[in-house]
Amino acid sequence: MSVQDAAARRGKLLRRTLVGSSIALALASILWLATKFESPLPMIVLAGVALAACVWEVDRMGTLAGRGLWMPLSAGGLVALMRLWERLGGVDLDHCHDLGFGCLWLPEALLSSGLVVLAVYAACCTRSMIVRLAGLALVAAPVFVEHVFVAETGDFAVLALALFLVLRLLVIGAERRGEALAVLLLGPLLVVSILGLAWVWYGFSHLGLVALIAICKLGDSAGYYVGSTLGQHHPFKAISPGKTTEGCLGSFVVAAVSTLAFVKLDWLPGDSALCALLAGAAVSIAAQASDLLESWVKRKAGVKDSGHWFGPSGGMLDLVDSFFLATPVALVLWPFLLRL
């Protein structure tokens, strides 16, 4: 490596460190302010704003721009927000941290929002079924159906709509099949994982939420630094050429040790060091798989970063991609692993 290349790499590492530290400080301040309210509403609003920013980016990302993807993602997000508010709207905050079982909310939110994303996207693929002015109505329709019918009849109304419209996906043009798969995979995970952070706050307090964010970001940073300095093997060249085996291992170790540290600090519940390491390892694997998933979507869209809001750290989607799978894994496994 030439002197110029080494200097450029050091400069990039420094810029990324400064941007990442600034983002972490701002986020910590926002979460601290949210604890001053005796209501889950601030956390739900914060999650909704982050989700809206991600939807905005996806709708403008490379070859995905102009496809109207904001409609299915927004519809799924609204349904998931309704489910979240139904669960947390009247909660007694003095006792909310006694539960911590996000798996009670996760399946129904994933099912309902996923079906809505599928149904609305299938409808968007049939150009003759919609016009520009019908976009808002198309977003509102599944929410109305969910609100009026689902409470009494289960998810059958939304399921019937999804199954009816999915037939359109079977005849979609070959050039759009990659896009369809990207939307159907990313859509429900994006919606549920970002809003699920509010449920992590509900189950594990604001310190538990900070711990989850820190575990994912510390692991991500460790993977980047170790991979940039020591990385030699590139197992995912077709999806993420910069990701290395050494970086993955570094991320795994740092995430597991960080989880143990947060348990010892009482930010997370538990007494067993082994269970804490297992909890961190599970989140690390999920976070790294999430990063690969987002990289695959960006490949399909033909872009390197989802946006440029955070300089060398990319856009909002790049910032939260670790949580696509890490949040569901934490919601399902942590209550059991950390409370053993």
- Sort 21 into a burial class: Cβ within 10 Å, 0-12 / 13-18 / 19+: exposed
Residues 45-104: pLDDT tens digits?
Answer: 888 888 999 989 888 888 888 777 888 888 888 888 888 887 776 666 555 554 455 666
Q: Is residue 247 scored above 80 in pLDDT?
A: yes
**What band does 249 get if pLDDT is binned at 50, 70 and 90?**
very high
Q: Look at residue 252 in the predicted model and tell me its pLDDT.
A: 93
Distance CA 59, CA 53 (A): 10
90 against 29, higher pLDDT: 29
Both structure tokens of 338: 């950390």
Q: Look at residue 153 in the predicted model and tell me its pLDDT.
A: 47
Distance CA 2, CA 22 (A): 30
Distance CA 66, CA 190 (A): 19
The CA angle 110-112-114, to the nearest 5 degrees, is: 60
Are 109 and 192 contacting, i.e. CB atoms less than 8 angstroms apart? yes
Residues 299-335: pLDDT tens digits?
Answer: 878 888 787 777 777 788 888 888 999 998 998 888 8
Q: Look at residue 112 in the predicted model and tell me its pLDDT.
A: 72
When mean pLDDT is compared over 110-114, 149-153, 234-238, 272-276, the highest value belongs to 272-276
Query: How many Cβ atoms sit within 10 Å of the Cβ of residue 309?
Result: 16
Q: Among all chains, which residue has been given the structure tokens 């976009």?
A: 135
Q: Among all chains, which residue has been given the structure tokens 């979609």?
A: 172
Phi and psi at 319, nearest 5°, equal -75, -35
Average pLDDT over residues 28-51: 79
Are 326 and 216 contacting, i.e. CB atoms less than 8 angstroms apart? yes
Distance CA 146, CA 160 (A): 12
**What band does 109 get if pLDDT is binned at 50, 70 and 90?**
confident
Which long-range contacts link 5-14 to residues 24+ away (Cβ below 8 Å)?
A: 9/228, 12/312, 13/225, 13/228
Q: Is residue 163 scored above 80 in pLDDT?
A: no
Q: Which helix (H) or strand (E) holds 143?
A: helix 135-145
